[in-house]
Structure 1
């Protein structure tokens, strides 16, 4: 028989795992925090006798968090349609970055996140293309190794149907190409930074894949392109035009979602966080997050 408070202590210890699950499901720190808080609210609303009956509080909380995230993803479709321009996931700073000069609470959600390949911007953008049920089945099974029998209880389908959902999601996520080392990524990002700082269009075109795509998210709060910019030459001209319009912009090489990226700041305030996808020594995708609400962890 559990000692008094043991089930509650076990539940409280699950917070880190739940934040990691929710961020991968939602792509938003703020929404992840809300989902996890709601799951805990439901746990603490249970009568004590019911809490003590639950053998695995972590599994119970994960199931509830998964269902909450599924609901949020369902309603996100409609919200995204009203969103001004492209919607991008919320970028994550490195843990050291998050703590730097903030006196941050160790319970801050960004600090709870494990930065691995399942939180890179490239991966999160692929997750955005999935249906809510596919995303939940794929993330819980392929990233967190949850059995389909448990996932079935979250998405309200049979284990066999959940297996199909994950397989369908996996096909979308599979991009057959050579892996890129962190050193190569860092070198390519540095080339972008130097060419951008010197407003060298030819050098930018050289480091961009001819079919590169740049997507910006200003959320209607700051100026940014509403549609993706396609092609190396157009992206290079756009980047130089931004530099011309924003004197005093300082570019810093920073970890963005666990991989090399760039942060632009003016007067010490972060105004843009850029993530990159790299293949064969060139940039194939740029995701530039400018919506101030998504840059709070960087402030």
Structure 2
């Protein structure tokens, strides 16, 4: 599973809390008790003395994810209010656990003004990332053991690290994290370079340490990519017959150059199509459907 850095989690939580409370993210942690007054409803109905104990519960069956971010949401709002340690948030499930409807996932206890002000943000992290993890597991199970399912860069802006963590928690795989960690030569790059061979050659020369993937639309272009030195050939928007032809061509070309090259299918990939692609011999598919999955319903029940 992709491990998150504490800073990545805290940055996302601070941005989300600041959005809900209507404050500048750079000022949140130094705001003090006044920040709780930004929740105009809770601050009007509760003094500083009331306490609240609750449990975040999955309303649907799901693969749990977002637990760490939810816990940090309660903790960071307590810090922002000048009461570090005032809230105790305890994970009851681990990232990647399968939960039935009604499963308690996080238990929280502390001042009501803090817990209730953080409630929606904490639940949103659980909802969104459990949704991604659940869909990732559904796709990878449908694909079977020989076909790997990868995510894409189509993620909610500012939440890519958490989204990719959720994909991994669900048992699927992470494609490149961004524009910096892998070369992916697409049609516009080839058009500017003049040919697949020239595009791969220039990319290899500039970044010899990186994996090189090339997007193609025909078996002939797939062979050109293999011969140029691609590590992965991405078959874009091809039907099953064209995919089968391209897979055979890549395997033959790979044997000829004496180097293993993986075949990825992207575009127009549905979950129903996965067994067919696995039978054809495709190594991997990439899809945005898992990172754009519908959220899972969660609620905070008073305990």
- Calculate the TM-score normalised by the size of structure 2: 0.28
- Calculate the TM-score normalised by the size of structure 1: 0.28
- In terms of Rg, which structure is larger? 2
Which structure shows the higher helix fraction? 1
